Amino acid sequence: MIEFTLRRITATIPVLLGILLVAFTVLYLIPGDPALTVAGPRADETTLKQIRAEMGLDLPVHMRFFNYLQKICKGDFGESVISGKPVLTSLTEKLPFTLKLALISILFSTVLGIVMGIVGAVTKGKLIDRLCTLFSVSGISIPVFLSGLVFLYVFAVKLKWFPSSGFNAENSLMPFILPAFTLGIRSAAFLARIVRSSMIEVLNQDFIRTAKAKGLSPLRILFRHGLLNALIPIITVIGLDLSSYLNGSVIVETIYDLPGIGRYAMEAISQRDYPVVQGVVLLGAMVFIGVNLLIDLFYAWINPKVRDEILGKLAK
């Protein structure tokens, strides 16, 4: 297990380096001279040159990339062009909000997705299954910004069940419910499809027939024998889908006015504050890699057979 853990961790290093290379390239390609932004439009040529040298902009590309790597390793994601605050500080300040939003919506989407998927698998081909399928196709097709605006209009403005916008410390859960619901629907729909297809596959297996023949209760068969065996693709999908929460939070937090990472990114987008956008993108990629690493380790821990499979995949 220790060897496996080490090998799995080493395998993420080239991917991490590549991600930083892409982020660096995009930053490098961005039009405009960062030195000019720092110095202001009226700076003369000598000042500009000095600032360029200070910022390391006059170095050859590979040296700049190397410097960039060094900075990232030290936890320095650069500073916001607009406010001058270090990006990492702002990110850690805003992370709790987005994390809370993501956790509530993961909880919601996992429960809804699994229930819908199981119902669909059990009633395969019947009307209820068709309705579940319709829900999941619509769920992955309707853009988050549309469902967000529609929910806001219906539940907050017309029905007044939820606060329409803003975050206040007194009521710490209510402002998150509607955004989490909006964010979770897509993932629930996505998950319902996977749960349905993997449950159908598992329910056709011999051991399910045996369990039925033994006279076990249908619910026990469904959860204990069925869901437990369909769990691996389900957990994989939840892991793969994690980055969609960060994507969605950009839109959802803007619509519902929550002070998390998504709205921070959105503000940076409208102000063309590139270091901030890049920081958020990097954070998202790192979270994705980290979570998938954990999921692989978890699989390997519960089922040693998977270890060789994952190692084989890495070697290929």
Partner 1 sequence: MKTLFKRMTMPGWLSFIGIIIVVAIALLAPVIAPNDPMETSPERILKELDGYPMGCDQMGQCFFSRLVYGARLSLIIGFASRFAALIIGLAVGMCAGYFGGKVDWLLMRVVDMFLAFPSLLLSIAVSMAMGSGMGTVIFAIAIVGWAEMARIIRAATLELRSAEYVVAAKTLGASHLRIILTHILPNCLPLITVIFTMGIATAVLSEASLSFLGLGVDPALPTWGGMVATGKDYMLRFPGLVFYPGACIAFLVIIFNILGDELRDILDPSRRGNL
Per CB under 8 A, residues contacting partner 1 are 14-15, 18-19, 22-23, 26-27, 29-31, 137-138, 140-146, 149-150, 153, 157, 190, 193-194, 196-198, 200-201, 243-244, 246-247, 250-251, 265-266, 269-270, 272, 274, 277-278, 280-281, 284-285, 288-289, 315-316
Minimum CB distance to partner 1 smaller for 51 or for 136: 136
Closest approach of partner 1 to the CB of residue 246, in Å: 5
**CA proximity to 148, closest of 259, 271, 258, 261:** 258
> What are residue 79's DSSP bridge partners?
86
Closest approach of partner 1 to the CB of residue 235, in Å: 15
Closest approach of partner 1 to the CB of residue 206, in Å: 20
Closest approach of partner 1 to the CB of residue 44, in Å: 28
Amino acid at 145: F
> Rounded distance, CA 138 to CA 186, Å?
9
Q: Who's near 181: CB < 8 A, 6+ residues apart?
A: 105, 108, 151
Helix (H, G, I), strand (E, B) or coil at 79: strand
Closest approach of partner 1 to the CB of residue 85, in Å: 20
Tokens of 305: 């057979």
Minimum CB distance to partner 1 smaller for 47 or for 267: 267
Closest approach of partner 1 to the CB of residue 279, in Å: 11
Are 233 and 194 in contact by the 8 Å Cβ rule? The answer is yes
Helix (H, G, I), strand (E, B) or coil at 86: strand
Closest approach of partner 1 to the CB of residue 305, in Å: 21
**CA proximity to 200, closest of 140, 120, 135:** 120
Number of H helices, E strands in the chain: 15, 0
Minimum CB distance to partner 1 smaller for 290 or for 304: 290
Are 243 and 287 in contact by the 8 Å Cβ rule? The answer is yes
Minimum CB distance to partner 1 smaller for 159 or for 213: 159
Closest approach of partner 1 to the CB of residue 225, in Å: 20
Say what angle helices 242-256 and 261-270 make with each other, to 10 degrees.
Answer: 70
Minimum CB distance to partner 1 smaller for 54 or for 201: 201
> Rounded distance, CA 100 to CA 91, Å?
14
Minimum CB distance to partner 1 smaller for 48 or for 289: 289
Minimum CB distance to partner 1 smaller for 115 or for 142: 142
Closest approach of partner 1 to the CB of residue 26, in Å: 5
> Rounded distance, CA 253 to CA 259, Å?
7
Q: Who's near 202: CB < 8 A, 6+ residues apart?
A: 208, 225, 226, 229, 230
Q: Who's near 296: CB < 8 A, 6+ residues apart?
A: 8, 310
Q: Who's near 182: CB < 8 A, 6+ residues apart?
A: 144, 147, 148, 151, 248, 252, 255, 256
Minimum CB distance to partner 1 smaller for 65 or for 145: 145
Minimum CB distance to partner 1 smaller for 114 or for 285: 285
